[in-house]
Amino acid sequence: MSPNDPTFVLRTTVTSPFGRKVRMAIEVLGIGHLVTVEPADPLNETDTLRQQNPLGKMPCLLLPDGTPIYDSGVIIEFLAEGAGSDAMVPRGGPERYVALTRARLADGITEAALLLIYENRFRDPGTQSERWIAHQRGKIARALATFEAAPPDPARTDIVAIGLSCALGYLDWRQPVKWRDNHPRLVAWLAAFAQHEPAYERTRAPTG
């Protein structure tokens, strides 16, 4: 990708943890000048997001001709390939699929956390399913335990580190579960990664 390339449109919000993944990757890849962020509202039936992604989910990247690409992992792979970088995702071999698997595990933390938030946000008081809540918390607990046993390299910004940092950042922000007391290695990893990668702080959702 060169400065003269056509620009892309990223449909997302600054509060979306999956949108944050893509925004962080864009900054790391140095292609911010090629991407315009356009807010999206997944709950708005008239938002064009539903035509761009039939699932009505963000982030969604629109190519110059309007072709949509989703979800966050696919978008990051596309942008990294276009930027000629194999630092974000290994090009091939077992390393590629191990990285993609670990990235999906990190995404699973975020997905389960979102479902916990939605369980309280979209159900009437007193109608939440404790069984469903426990099911989602179990996913988060097992995934965190896996990363606690083997955290990524905090000095390497790749698809795994981006996904995990955004997942942990979302847990800190929305607090669907308390994770810090029982995961000291992950606490240390996130602090080290945030110090190594300025894009982590620059993509943080605004407070207040």
Across the chain, what does the average pLDDT equal? Answer: 95
Radius of gyration for the chain, computed over Cα atoms and rounded to the nearest angstrom: 17
Residue 21 · residue 162 · CB < 8 Å: yes
Q: Taking residues 73-83, what's their average pLDDT?
A: 96
Q: Taking residues 117-125, what's their average pLDDT?
A: 91
Q: What is the pTM of this model?
A: 0.95
- The predicted-structure confidence for 142-195, as pLDDT tens digits, reads as follows 999 999 999 999 999 999 999 999 999 999 999 999 999 999 999 999 999 999
Q: What is the pLDDT of residue 206?
A: 80
- The predicted-structure confidence for 140-157, as pLDDT tens digits, reads as follows 999 999 999 999 999 999
* Neighbouring C-alpha atoms within 13 Å toward the C-beta of 36: 9
Q: How far is CA 58 from the centre of its chain?
A: 10
Sequence-separated (6 or more) residues with CB below 8 Å from residue 96: 89, 90
Residue 5 · residue 34 · CB < 8 Å: yes
Q: Taking residues 118-134, what's their average pLDDT?
A: 92
Peptide bond into 71 cis (omega under 30): yes
Q: What is the pLDDT of residue 4?
A: 57
In the predicted model, is pLDDT for residue 208 greater than 60?
no
Q: What is the pLDDT of residue 2?
A: 53
Q: What is the pLDDT of residue 178?
A: 96
Sequence-separated (6 or more) residues with CB below 8 Å from residue 119: 128, 129, 132, 133, 136
The domains located in the chain, with CATH, are 8-82 (3.40.30.10), 93-197 (1.20.1050.10)
- The predicted-structure confidence for 17-73, as pLDDT tens digits, reads as follows 999 999 999 999 999 999 999 999 999 999 999 999 999 999 999 999 999 999 999
Q: What is the pLDDT of residue 205?
A: 86
Local confidence band at 6 (pLDDT 50, 70, 90 cut-offs):
confident
Residue 24 · residue 162 · CB < 8 Å: yes
Write the DSSP symbol of residue 176: S
Q: Taking residues 117-122, what's their average pLDDT?
A: 92
